[in-house]
Amino acid sequence: MTRATPPVFSPADALKHLSVQDPRLGIIIKSVGKYSIELRPQPFRSLVEAIIYQQLAGRAADTIFGRFLKIYRGRFPSPARILATSDQELRAAGLSRQKIAYIRDLAGHVADRSLRLEKLALLDDAEIAEQLVQVKGIGRWTADMFLIFCLGRPDVLPVGDLGLRRAIMINYGLSELPLAAKILEIASAWKPYSSVATWYMWKSLEKFKGIG
């Protein structure tokens, strides 16, 4: 099933709903303040960035991403330019062989139009994830980050995200990192604004010296 238009939601309505349905989250919302997620509206860049940041602490990933951009003199490259860049240059930026393969596979899918990034916004969340995971190195976590940070989808719950798991463990008084079933149980109150709740969970970690 496809959408005629991208989803639109009111942050004010989302915060009111979340505060009523989950008072513990309501306290976090009041502490953090305004919902001010920074969207990355360029689909190809968003996916490449997500691949580079996989399984890395924020500061290390920032450094590698900065070196990656320097290859292209600070401008984000097209798929064709990435495909024309040597492995040696990409390795010198700090990218692993595996991530180079992932980025090249993504660039190839976009270049040959087997992945139509400009059409994704018209699909529902499940359809988008189904298309993205056909690319090497893009799993559900990367698809979820794309849905949240590129398309601004309001009801995405990235159950495999370490930051979300840590935040739930701390804020809900759990003795260990929760598994998917526990996350789904707690987050059942967050629908249809799971992305918003997740953002507040991430922000809450700043009180505990951040995610990484």
Catalytic residues: 161
Q: 160 and 128 in contact (C-beta within 8 Å)?
A: no
Distance of alpha carbon 20 from the chain centroid: 26
Distance of alpha carbon 136 from the chain centroid: 17
Tokens representing 160 are: 């495999």
Write phi, then psi, for 96 (nearest 5 degrees): -75, 160
Distance of alpha carbon 12 from the chain centroid: 22
Count the Cβ atoms, other than its own, within 10 Å of residue 163.
18
